[in-house]
Chain A
Amino acid sequence: MDGLAVGSLYALIALGYTMVYGILKFINFAHSDIFVLGAWMSYTVALCAGWPQGQPTHIANWVLFVLVAVGVAGGVYALVGRLRLGKIPSGAWTLLLVSGWGFSAAGLVLVARALFAADQKLVAGGVILLVSMLTCGVVGFSLERLAYKPLRKAPRLNVLITAIGVSLFLQNVGQLDWMFGTRPQGMPALLPDKVLATFGGTPGATAGSWDVQPIQVRLLDVIAGGTSIILMLALDRLVFHTKLGRAMRAVSFNERNAALMGIPVDKVISFTFVLGAMLAAAAGFLFGQKYSGLGQPAAAIWVLLGLKAFVAAVVGGIGNIRGAMLGGLLIGLAEMFVKAYQSPAVVDIYVFGILIFVLLVRPGGLLGRVGVEKV
């Protein structure tokens, strides 16, 4: 069960890697940092919403300040554009959109606050999840606009290096005092947890031995796994059954021909980033609920988690959305089995062992295709 829950979280993160790779053909190394940001953001939002314990952070003020600034800039830009060109430039719309998006997130924080006061923790948790997803969506959007879009025509290596740079930037900014600081924090338990059922297992089994372990179905795992599976099903539906999804797949196959279909390529790419970032944020929140200790934003544990999600994406076949889901679950399950039957210390050997094995046997990943592209 644990494995399924963790696996579905890996899958959520892996989706972000795979979607961006599918469209832009580069690995967004900053993606795991968005995941970290998601976890920390939900912590911060919980604080703002009135969760009493923990160190206060100043980030809320900053976020508000930036939102107002962006909103004002957008307004001025729109006004100037309107006066000089007779129409509102699209850049102004973008700024206004970002700021409006942020403000609705701020509004949701107030909602969460009220819910907290009324002791509706589960609902408050849902709202916090939403805020965290919205915020990371904005961050993902801005990253693409500011860091990657100017490099659309540059060699892929440049973009890759930029992604590593963005990743380091996010990690280190996250450690600044006015952001999240360097102290590890404890995530508030927002979702209820209890053992729903226990079955199987030899009596008196001890962890780390070859005894058959009892299986515990925990409510938290069900919620975490359930939420991620709902999100994944929603994504699957979006990508394979809607006009927007068709546009995404078209852009991913060939940007030029997609543009000839009248698809606004830049918008579709932005949207993909937002979507990936939102999924990562959800994974961050759920992860924080499952393992409540949050290490500092640059802690090795986060990096490793992001890396494993990337492994999941590659194992499933990078660029393939259903593959990412499969890969995530596979890695999660493998991890838990090793933890239960051998030792938590050797987990990573198996994870990367699977990667090597899959790459040897099926270089394109489980669901990937080794493509000689037909022209």
Chain B
Amino acid sequence: MLEVRDLKVNYGAIKALHGISLRVNQGEIVTLIGSNGAGKSTTLRTISGLLRPASGDILFEGASIRATPPHEIVRLGLVQSPEGRGVFPNMTVDENLQLGAFVRPASERGAIAADRERALGLFPRLRERLKQSAGTLSGGEQQMLAMARALIAKPRLLLLDEPSLGLAPQIVQTIFKIIRDINASGTTILLVEQNANMALRVAHRAYVLEVGRITMEGAAAELAQSDEVRKAYLGHG
């Protein structure tokens, strides 16, 4: 579904990605784990078109999107729920959700309403807060809002950037359960995480990113057993 080939990205003179390749197949949850500054967010931003690669290519369903502007990429069904939650705090929860449907034509009103209901079904807490401004939500609620909003855009492939960042362990559990639910209902997911423990538990396959290079890849369950991953990311000696 998504194929990244030998992607190199620079910030000015600094090389952020030294040529990474990865693929996401239809129906999978794939996770990209790595520590701070490894280039995880850079990868997602480049896929979404916010950054332009220096070389390499990104194929979505066989067509190159390396020169497609970000708002067009969303229209293709490649939707990102940004890092740091990225909700618009000056708008209400409801308005944020409506922004999720920005790319969908008014003629789909019925379908949009249905998707909105489904998203609110996944995150019942948002329903109580529809008229509240998004800035007043707790961190976990903002994360839920960002994910719900992305779902209303009707993604074929959902990109999640650090959904567990800064959240209490209990809420992280809830969020990951929902990630699994979203996937079970047919949405393919590329999950970027620092929380390798949780990410490897929900994902089918995983890539390990270290300072701009992919150092390991494989089935998530296998990687979770490997010594290097355990030592570096799971906190087992």
Contacts and interface: CB of A to CB of B under 8 A. Distances in A.
Interface of A: 243, 246-247, 249-250, 253-254, 256-257, 259-265, 374-375
A257 B81 CA distance: 9
Contacts of A253: 88-90
Contacts of B84: 375
A246 B91 contact: yes
B133 to A, nearest CB: 12
A53 to B, nearest CB: 50
B80 A249 contact: no
Interface residues of B, number: 26
B166 to A, nearest CB: 10
Given A259-B71, A262-B74, A249 B100 contact: no
Interface in B173-228: none
Contact of A260 (B48, B95, B98, B135): B48
Nearest to B84: A375
Given A254-B86, A260-B86, A265 B71 contact: yes
B91 A260 contact: no
A247 B102 CA distance: 8
Interface of B: 48-50, 69-71, 74-75, 79-80, 82, 84, 86, 88-91, 95, 98-100, 102-103, 135, 149, 153
16 contacts: A247-B99, A247-B102, A253-B89, A253-B90, A254-B88, A257-B82, A257-B86, A259-B70, A259-B71, A259-B74, A260-B74, A260-B82, A260-B86, A265-B70, A265-B71, A374-B135
B88 A262 contact: no
B35 to A, nearest CB: 20
B88 A249 contact: yes
A263 B135 contact: no
Contacts of B91: 246, 249-250
A264 B99 contact: no
Nearest to B76: A262
B222 to A, nearest CB: 32
Nearest to A244: B102
Given A259-B70, A264-B71, A250 B50 contact: no
B228 to A, nearest CB: 32
Nearest to A256: B50
A263 B82 contact: no
Contact of A243 (B49, B98, B135): B98
A375 B142 CA distance: 11
A264 B74 CA distance: 10
A364 to B, nearest CB: 14
Contacts of A259: 48-50, 69-71, 74
A142 B99 CA distance: 28
Nearest to B100: A261
A215 to B, nearest CB: 39
Contacts of A263: 71, 99, 102
Contacts of A265: 70-71
Contacts of B80: 260
A249 B49 CA distance: 21
Contact of B71 (A243, A254, A262, A375): A262
Contacts of B69: 259, 264
Contacts of B98: 243, 246
Contacts of B99: 246-247, 250, 261, 263
A264 B49 CA distance: 12
5 shortest A-B CB distances, which residue pairs?
Answer: A262-B74, A262-B103, A259-B70, A257-B86, A264-B71
> Which residue, of A250, A257, A375, has the highest number of chain B Cβ atoms within 10 A?
A257
